[in-house]
Amino acid sequence: MTNLNRALTVEDLTKIAVYSDPQFAPNGESYAFVSTTVNDEKEYQSQIFIQSTTTEPQQWTFGHDKNSHPRYSPDGKSIVFQSTRSGTPQIWLVPVNGGEARQITFFKHGAVNPEWSKDGNYIIFTAELNALDNVQDQKEQSKEERQHEKDQKAQEPIVIDRLKHKSDAKGFHDHKRAQLVLFNIEEKSFKQLTSNNTDHGYEDISPDGNLVLFSANLDDDADYQHTNDLFLLNISTKEVTKLTDGKGAYGNASFSPSGDKIACFGHEYAYSGATLSELFIFDAVTKERACLSESIDLQLGDVMIGDTRMGQSSAGPVWSKNEDKLYLIATDFGATGLYQADLNGNIDVLYKDNNHVFGFTYDDNTDTFILGISTPTNPCNYYLLKNSELTRLTNANAQLLDEVSLADPETITVTAEDGWEIQGWLLHPYGYEEKEKYPLILEIHGGPHAMYGQTFFHELQLLAAKGYVVLYTNPRGSHGYGQDFVDACRTDYGGSDYTDLMTAVDYALDNYDFIDKDRLGVTGGSYGGFMTNWIVGHTNRFKAAVTQRSISNWLSFYGVSDIGYFFTDWELGESRLNNPAKLWEFSPLKYVDNVETPLLIVHGEQDLRCPIEQGEQLFIALKHLKKEVEFVRFPGANHELSRSGNPAMRMERLNHICGWFERYL
C-alpha cells in the first residue's frame, strides 16, 4: 500500500487549530467562534473569528493572548468577550462595525464568562472575590505586583479547614469565591449580585431582565455534598428563590423566550457518578418540575473523549422560538448528534452521523443551526444545518490535512463473555501492506464513565502513524449505551470490564491476521491507567505497557485525591473507613509480584485527581522487585496533561510513550 502523504508526527499536535463556542449574530447572517492554536513560543493562544454564512472567516483578535467567550449584544452592534491581553482575564467590548476593543473590567483576580441581558443594558459576568472585596474599586494588578504576590504566597503556609480544600483544576482553594457581577452599560457601574461563601455559576437571565438564574450549593453542609441547585435571584431586591430540591445536580439551564419556563439538564445521583442526565422543564412561577426524557435510555450532552478539544461549546438545551421544542446534543453508540425534544417527551434526531457534534448555535428567526463537527480524520469544522441539509462553512487545518495520512477507523462489535455487545474501533498502521505483521496497542479511556468514538484523537492517530494497529473500545462502564451499561462496572473494577477488554483483544487477533500476537502493547490514562496497571498484574500477554496518571492503591487514593473520599464509595462500593481489605483487593499494587510486562509510568507532579504518589508507590514496588520499569514525572502538570497541558510537555509525553513501545514492541 502506497501512502501519498507523510505520516503524522508528535510535532503536528502544535499545528492543529481547535474551534469552539459558535455564537450566531442576532440577524442570523453571521456567527462568531473561537480558534485555539499553539504559537511559536509553544503556548496556547485563542482568537475570535467572525464569518457570514456565505464568506470566509475573518480574524478579529490578534496577538499571543487568549481571547474567548464572544457574545453579541442583542442589537448586534457589539461583541463582549474575555481576554488575557492585559495580563489577567478581563471583560472587553468591541463594536462590530470596526473600532478598538475597550476594557470594561479591571478586577484584581480577573473577570470571565460575560453574558448580555436581553435588552442589552447589562453585562453579567463571573469574578473571583474575597468576602470584603468591593466591586466598585477593583484595581488590576501589574505583572510585577502579580509576581510579588505569587512569591509571597510561596513562602506562606496553607491553612486547611475544609473537606473540599483542593481541586485538580484550581489547585488548593483559598478564600475567593466565584461571584456574579452586573455591569450597567449606561452608568458604567458594577453591582455584585451574589455574596455567599460558595462558587456561583451563571445560567441565564429572564427575558424581562428582572431575574438571574444561577447554580450553586448554598447548604450549610455543602462541603459534604455533591448537589448543585438552581436559584432565581431578583436583581432589584436580591431576593433568592430555590428552584430545585437539594437532591441532585442541575445545570445548562435557560429561560424560555416568554420567561414562563426553565429547561435544564440534571439528575439525582440514582447511580452515583454513573447516572445519566435527564431533561427537565420547570414552571418559573410554581416551580413544578417535569422530566421530558424519562422514557429514553440516552445520555444527554456531549461526553466524547478526545485530546484536541479546547474551549467550551453549548450542548443545549436551547429553546425554539415558539417554546414548543428544545434542541440539544446527545451521546449514543460512539457518536454525538443534534436532537429535538418536544414538551411531551418525544425526542427525535435532527442530525447524527459517524462523527462528533461538539457544539451548536441556533437562530430562531431562520430556524437554522451551525454545528461544530469533528471526525476521526478531521479535528473540526463548522457546518450550516438548514432544512436537514448540511453545508460546510469552514476549512480548518486544510494545509495539515493535505500533508498527512490519517487512518479511518474500522468499527467492530465484540460479544463479551456474558453476551453483552462491546463497540470498538481499529486503526490500520501507516504504510499498511498485506501479508505483513504489525504490533497492536490497546488504548483504554478514562472516566470510566466516558466514551471513545468518532472524533479526532491525535494520540491514536500518532500510534497508527508509528506503525501500530490501534484498538480502542468502550467496555462496560462507558457512556453511550444506556444506563445499565454505564453502571455495570461499579463495584466490579477489574472484573467484567477487564474481560471486555481482553475479549476485544482476542477478537482482533482472531479476525485480523496482520496483527502479531507476540507484540501487544497497552496504555491508558486515569481509569485507563488503573486498568493498565490491573492488566499487567493479571496477564503477561502484553510485551509493553504505559500507565498514565493512574491509580495503583485505592487505600491511599481515598485520602489524597480531590475526589477520593467519595469516589471510592461511588465506584467500588466501599470506603477506606468501612472496608480497607476490600479496597486492597481492588488495588493493582497488591499484584505487583505478578508483573512481567515492561512498564512506563507517566504522571504529572501537580495531579490532584490521581496524585503522583500513586505512580510513586507503583514504581518503588516494581523497582524494589527488580522489574522492568521507568518513571517519567512532568513538573507543574495536572490531570489534564494529555488534553490541555503545556504543549511542550504534551509532546514530550508522546515522545516517551512512543519511545517505550518502540523499545519493547
- Cβ neighbours, 10 Å, residue 97: 8
> Do the bridges between strand 544-548 and strand 515-525 make them parallel or antiparallel, or are there none, so unpaired?
parallel
**Under a CB-based contact definition with an 8 Å cutoff, are residues 247 and 258 in contact?**
no
Distance from C-alpha of 500 to C-alpha of 333, rounded to nearest angstrom: 16
**Under a CB-based contact definition with an 8 Å cutoff, are residues 263 and 280 in contact?**
yes
DSSP 565-604: HHHHHHHHS--TTT-HHHHHHT-GGGGGGG--S-EEEEEE
> Do the bridges between strand 102-103 and strand 90-95 make them parallel or antiparallel, or are there none, so unpaired?
antiparallel
Distance from C-alpha of 464 to C-alpha of 440, rounded to nearest angstrom: 9
Record the cell numbers describing residue 37, joined without a space.
492554536
Q: Which of 350, 361, 326 is nearest to 30 (CA)?
A: 361
Write phi, then psi, for 275 (nearest 5 degrees).
Answer: -80, 130
381: part of which helix (H) or strand (E)?
strand 378-386
Q: Which of 112, 116, 111, 109 is nearest to 141 (CA)?
A: 109
> Do the bridges between strand 404-405 and strand 6-7 make them parallel or antiparallel, or are there none, so unpaired?
parallel
* Ramachandran region, residue 498 (left: φ > 0; alpha: ψ -120 to 50; beta: rest): alpha
* Ramachandran region, residue 316 (left: φ > 0; alpha: ψ -120 to 50; beta: rest): left
Measure CA of the first residue to CA of the last residue in the chain; give whole Å: 22
Active-site annotation holds for 449: no
Q: Is the peptide bond before 376 cis (omega within 30 degrees of 0)?
A: no
CA torsion sign for 650, 655, 656, 657 is: positive
The 3-state DSSP class for residue 144 equals helix
Q: Is the peptide bond before 448 cis (omega within 30 degrees of 0)?
A: yes
Record the cell numbers describing residue 447, joined without a space.
472516566
Record the cell numbers describing residue 628, joined without a space.
522492568
494 DSSP assignment: T
The 3-state DSSP class for residue 643 equals helix
Q: Is residue 475 packed enough to be buried (19+ CB in 10 Å), middle (13-18) or exposed (0-12)?
A: buried
The 3-state DSSP class for residue 623 equals helix
Write phi, then psi, for 293 (nearest 5 degrees).
Answer: -115, 10
Amino acid at 176: K
- Cβ neighbours, 10 Å, residue 187: 9
Amino acid at 187: E
Exposure on the CB side of residue 632, measured as CA atoms within 13 A:
19
Active-site annotation holds for 639: yes
Cα 261 to Cα 209, 232, 286, distances in angstroms = 15, 12, 10
649: part of which helix (H) or strand (E)?
helix 647-664
Q: Which of 121, 123, 258 is nearest to 182 (CA)?
A: 123
In the set 526, 552, 561, 587, the catalytic residue is 526
Sequence-distant (6+) residues with CB within 8 A of 29 are 52, 53
**Catalytic residue annotation:** 526, 639
